[in-house]
Amino acid sequence: MTARLFPPGVPIAKRIFDLLLSVVGVVLISPFILLLTILVRIIHGAPVIFQQVRPGYKGKPFAMYKYRSMTDARDADGHLLPDEARLTPFGKFLRSTSLDELPELYNVLRGEMSLVGPRPLLMQYLERYTPEQARRHEVLPGMTGWAQINGRNNVSWEDKFALDVWYVDHWSLWLDIKILLLTPLKVFKREGISEPGNATAREFMGTEGGEGAGE
């Protein structure tokens, strides 16, 4: 899975914007990133970075990086405990502030993600989308997006995907700037972090009655 400085299909202005802000951001907050890395290592153990394959542009898989927010706690039979049981208070803090997503800046620099775009979800969701929902992969996935500032995990999957597709159809550099400016406010308010009874959001099983819905 090779990355490109200028991925095909990505507007040049958007890519340059991503690169400039990412490089400047990493330089400015590098001491904080180092401190956060040390804390994650002490509290959650190794590895510090959680890596998972996610679908990117056109559904192409890539390895997405995040700070670990859970331990490897297991039951008496050696099976991992549910997410809610393994999510530590520090992990909840990382998620509620979106600090766990800082390593995704590396994905942005590699051209696998953008600062703004639909959030990269799970690979198994690809076959569960309707054709309209699958259009969310017509742009690079993002660290934040239109759906994230309009409800995050507190809206239904269908509404979230509709917001993603709206972004695809209405993208502009000014829209990206607007989303980036509103994101810190949403993070500060800690709105829509998770659904009741879930560490983040319930699994998407497909839209009932729609083409591409899962079994």
Q: Residue 47 gets which letter from DSSP?
A: -
What tens digit of pLDDT does each residue of 13-50 get? 999 999 999 999 999 999 999 999 999 999 988 899 99
Residues 76-91, mean pLDDT to the nearest whole number: 82
In the numeric block, which tokens belong to residue 210? 């729609």
What tens digit of pLDDT does each residue of 171-210 get? 999 999 999 999 988 887 765 555 555 545 678 988 764 4
Percentage above 90 pLDDT, the chain? 64
Q: Is the pLDDT of residue 6 over 70?
A: yes
Nearest to 187 by CA among 157, 141, 144: 144
Residue given tokens 């393994």 in the structure block? 86
